[in-house]
Amino acid sequence: MLLRPYQEVAINDAADALDKHGNTLVVAPTGAGKTIMLSALVGKRRSVSRDVLILQHRDELVSQNSTKFQRVNPKLSASYVNASQKDWGGDAVFAMVQTLSRHNNLEQMPRVDLIVVDEAHHTVADTYQRIINAAKKANEGVQVVGFTATPNRGDKKGLRDVFTNCSHQIEIATLIREGFLVPPKTFVVDVGVQEELRDVRKTASDFDMADVEKIMNRRAINKRVVEEWLDKAGNRKTIVFCLPGRGCSYIFLKNFVQLCFDMVQNGMSIQISQDYSSMVNFARCKCLGAKRSSKDQIRFHGMES
């Protein structure tokens, strides 16, 4: 596979950092091709890292990552450690963190030379720490590389205990300027609840989401969202972002879909997510509708190709 120039640079920087520090973090925005980069890095490090463990926290990421890995490295084999199988025989083992972090599965984990962490901002979680510590116990020289679009966690926990350096960071503005990502067009809709939101309690980092949900998750507001979506992007594949927590995504999805069918007769494909990292097939999506802001605005981001 022919890599993009910035991907080549990122891989080379990461390889140099692994040689120097034994660990490194690569930061790249959604759409930059992190899975392609981590796969190419594994192929590049094959001579020094024979046994590779690739960690992910969602079943769909295991499937996506392994498929892309084998496109990049057709001569390398892949195996899986998840709820349905425990196969350590591949050149690269794709493991579900929730499964591997269990004590009985860690006891069966063989020596590995390189751990690759997808969505590496999760590495401070206890499940990831158990895996990394077990790998280091079996091999003091095990190297760890992480890839993420969001290194700054909402809980303010740092990643330095795992990654002592960031070898490469790709900016979204750079990828837009170089033509690899398209510039978004944003439309802001005022839904008229500013006065109510001014009285919402503040937590350490944001508004109290339970109070915001009571204000924002109303049929009239949802109807306005659907109307604006139909006007701006009704004929496009769309991903909707909702207010986080307490079932709001499900409630909003139910209302959103019902309103869509009330207002249009044709079927449509909708994905709901509370964080950008969990989106599937992001590159094929042409519009993002974000109804998760703690302000009284709805944002539609249209991506022109």
Sorted by where each begins, the domain ranges of the chain are 5-177, 184-303
pLDDT of residue 209: 73
Rg (CA), the chain: 21
The residues, ordered by sequence, that sit 6+ positions from 247 with a Cβ below 8 Å of its Cβ are none
Structure tokens at 150: 């969001």
pLDDT score of 204 more than 70: no
Fold of 184-303: Peroxisomal Thiolase; Chain A, domain 1 (3.40.47)
Higher pLDDT, 299 or 186: 186
Tens of pLDDT, residue by residue over 205-221, are 667 777 877 777 777 87
pLDDT score of 30 more than 70: yes
pLDDT of residue 210: 75
Tens of pLDDT, residue by residue over 257-294, are 666 666 555 555 554 444 444 433 334 445 555 544 44
Instruction: Give the helix/strand (H/E) hosting 120.
Output: none
d(CA 90, CA 11): 22
Query: Which residue is associated with the tokens 């962490």?
Result: 117
Fold of 5-177: Rossmann fold (3.40.50)
Residue pair 226/256 in contact by the 8 Å Cβ criterion: yes
The 8-class DSSP code of residue 84 comes to S
pLDDT of residue 77: 95
pTM for this predicted structure: 0.76
The residues, ordered by sequence, that sit 6+ positions from 119 with a Cβ below 8 Å of its Cβ are 56, 57, 61, 147, 148, 277
Confidence of residue 106 (pLDDT cuts 50, 70, 90): very high
Higher pLDDT, 90 or 267: 90
